[in-house]
Amino acid sequence: MSVEKPVVSLADLCSRYEGLLVPDERQGFEGYLISPDHLISFCRSLRDDVGYDYLSSVTGVDNFPAEQMEVVYHFYRTTGGPSFNLKLQVSRHNPVVPSLVPLYPGADFQEREAWDLLGIRFEGHPDLRRIMMWEGFEGFPLRKDWREPFFEDEAKPFKSRWPDGQVIRSEDQNPYKNNVRYPNDFDPEQWTPVGDDALYKGMLNLSQNIQSEFKTDQIVVNLGPQHPSTHGVFRMVVVLEGETVLSLKPVMGYLHRNHEKIGERNTFLQNMPFTDRLDYISSMSNNFGYALAVEKLMGIRPPERAEYIRVMMAELTRFLNHIFSIGFLLNDLGAFFTPALYAIEERELILDVFEAVSGSRMMCNYFRFGGVARDLPDGVLEKIKELVNDRLPRKLEEFERYLTKNDLVRIRCEGVGVLSPEEAIALSAAGPILRASGVPYDVRRADPYSIYDRFDFDVAYGLHGDIYDRYLVRVEEMRQSLRILKQVVRDIPEGPIMSGKPQYQARVPPGEAYGRVEGPKGELGFYVVSNGKPNPWRYHVRAPSFINLTSLATMAKNQKIADVVAILGSIDIVLGEVDR
Amino acid sequence: MMDEDRLSREEFSIPVELQRQVAIATLDKIYNWSRRNSLWPMMFGLACCAIEMIGAAAGRYDFSRFGTEVMRPSPRQADVMIVSGTVTKKMIPTIVRLYNQMGEPKYVIAMGACASGGGPFKEGYNVVPGVDRFVPVDVYIPGCPPTPQALLYGLIALQKKIDTESIKTARWYKKEPSVPIPIPVLGPDLIDPRDLSAIKERSQKKSQEEPEAATGDEEGIVHVS
Amino acid sequence: MNGWGIIQGLGVTLKHFLKTYLEDIRKGKGRYFTEEGVRERSASSVTGVFTVQYPEEKLILPEEFRYLPFLVYDELPDQERKIRCTSCGICAKVCPPQCIWIKRAIDPDTGRPKPTPAEFYIDVDICMNCGFCAEYCPFDAIKMDHDYEIASFDRKAEHVYSMEKLLKSASYYEEIRPKNFAREEAARLEKEAKTS
Domain-wise residue ranges, chain B: 4-36, 48-159, 192-225
The DSSP output letter for A94 is S
Q: How many helices (H) and strands (E) does chain A have?
A: 21, 15
Position A452: which residue type?
A: Y
Could you give the residue ranges of the DSSP H alpha helices within A119-196?
Answer: 170-173
More confident: A20 or A351: A351
B124 and A348: CB-CB below 8 Å?
A: no
Residue B126 confidence (pLDDT) above 60: yes
Segment A64-80 mean pLDDT: 89
> Please, which pLDDT band fits residue B209 given cuts at 50, 70 and 90?
low
C129 and A363: CB-CB below 8 Å?
A: yes
A163 and C63: CB-CB below 8 Å?
A: no
> Please, which pLDDT band fits residue B217 given cuts at 50, 70 and 90?
very low
pLDDT score for A114: 92
Could you give the residue ranges of the DSSP H alpha helices within A233-390?
Answer: 259-265, 271-276, 283-298, 304-333, 338-358, 380-386
Residue A483 confidence (pLDDT) above 90: yes
pLDDT, tens digit, for every residue of C61-73?
A: 999 999 999 999 9
Q: How many helices (H) and strands (E) does chain C have?
A: 8, 7
More confident: B209 or A18: A18
Q: Which helix (H) or strand (E) holds C163?
A: helix C163-166
Please tell me the distance in Å from B69's CA to the nearest CA on chain C: 14
pLDDT, tens digit, for every residue of B33-72?
A: 888 888 898 888 888 888 999 889 888 898 888 888 788 8
Other beta carbons within 10 Å of A34: 20
Report percent pLDDT > 90 for chain C. 23
Could you give the residue ranges of the DSSP H alpha helices within A107-235?
Answer: 108-118, 170-173, 197-208
A502 and C135: CB-CB below 8 Å?
A: yes
Please tell me the distance in Å from A70's CA to the nearest CA on chain B: 23
CA closest to C121 among chain A residues: A167
Q: Which of A95-104, A293-302, A307-316, B177-186 has the lowest mean pLDDT?
A: B177-186
Residue A209 confidence (pLDDT) above 90: no
Residue B3 confidence (pLDDT) above 60: no
CB-closest option in C11, C90, C101 to A166: C101
| CA distance to A129, A193, A200, A278, per residue, from A197 (Å) | 11, 10, 5, 30
Segment A110-124 mean pLDDT: 91
pLDDT score for B199: 83
pLDDT, tens digit, for every residue of A504-558?
A: 888 889 999 999 999 999 999 999 999 888 899 999 999 999 999 999 999 998 8
CA closest to C60 among chain B residues: B149
Contact A159, B131 (CB under 8 A): no
pLDDT, tens digit, for every residue of A318-355?
A: 999 999 999 989 988 888 788 899 999 999 999 999 99
Domain-wise residue ranges, chain A: 10-123, 298-524
- Chain C residues 37-96 with CB within 8 Å of chain A: 42, 44-46, 50, 61-66, 87, 89-90, 92-96
Q: What is the CATH number of domain C69-195?
A: 3.30.70.3270
Write out the DSSP string of A208-262: HT---SS---EEEEEE-SS-TTSSSS-EEEEEEETTEEEEEEEE--TT---HHHH
Q: Which helix (H) or strand (E) holds C118?
A: strand C113-123
Contact C124, C68 (CB under 8 A): yes
Helix (H, G, I), strand (E, B) or coil at A102: coil
Please tell me the distance in Å from A73's CA to the nearest CA on chain C: 30
pLDDT score for A478: 93
Crossing angle of helices A467-491 and A392-403, in 10° steps, is 170
For CA atoms C6, C12, C16, C22, the dihedral sign is positive
Q: What strand order describes the sheet that includes A235-241?
A: A218-223, A235-241, A244-251
More confident: B169 or A96: A96
> Please, which pLDDT band fits residue B215 given cuts at 50, 70 and 90?
very low
CA closest to A351 among chain C residues: C42
A175 and B218: CB-CB below 8 Å?
A: yes
Position A339: which residue type?
A: P
Q: Taking CB atoms and an 8 Å cutoff, what residues of chain A touch B54? A: 340, 344
- ipTM for the predicted complex comes to 0.92
Segment A37-46 mean pLDDT: 89
B142 and C127: CB-CB below 8 Å?
A: yes
Q: Taking CB atoms and an 8 Å cutoff, what residues of chain B touch A264? A: none
A165 and C100: CB-CB below 8 Å?
A: yes
Helix (H, G, I), strand (E, B) or coil at B5: helix
- Chain A residues 440-499 with CB within 8 Å of chain C: none
pLDDT, tens digit, for every residue of A125-163?
A: 888 888 999 888 888 999 988 888 888 888 888 888 888
Residues 6+ apart with CB under 8 A from B194: B182
Residue C160 contacts A where some CB pair is shorter than 8 Å: yes
C53 and B153: CB-CB below 8 Å?
A: no
Domain-wise residue ranges, chain C: 1-58, 69-195
Please tell me the distance in Å from C173's CA to the nearest CA on chain A: 15
pLDDT score for B12: 72
CA closest to B141 among chain C residues: C151
Q: Which of B88, B114, B138, B109 is nearest to B42 (CA)?
A: B109
B59 and A345: CB-CB below 8 Å?
A: yes
Please tell me the distance in Å from A328's CA to the nearest CA on chain C: 17
> Please, which pLDDT band fits residue A230 given cuts at 50, 70 and 90?
confident
CATH class (in words) of the domain with range A298-524: mainly alpha
CA closest to A157 among chain C residues: C93
Q: What is the CATH number of domain B48-159?
A: 3.40.50.12280
* C-alpha span between A90 and A71 (Å, rounded): 8
**Is the preceding omega at residue A225 within 30 degrees of 0, hence cis?**
yes
CA closest to A392 among chain C residues: C44
Please tell me the distance in Å from B164's CA to the nearest CA on chain A: 32
Which CATH number does the domain A10-123 belong to among 3.40.50.150, 3.30.300.30, 3.30.1490.20, 3.30.460.80? 3.30.460.80
For CA atoms A110, C97, B141, A326, the dihedral sign is positive
More confident: A113 or A216: A113
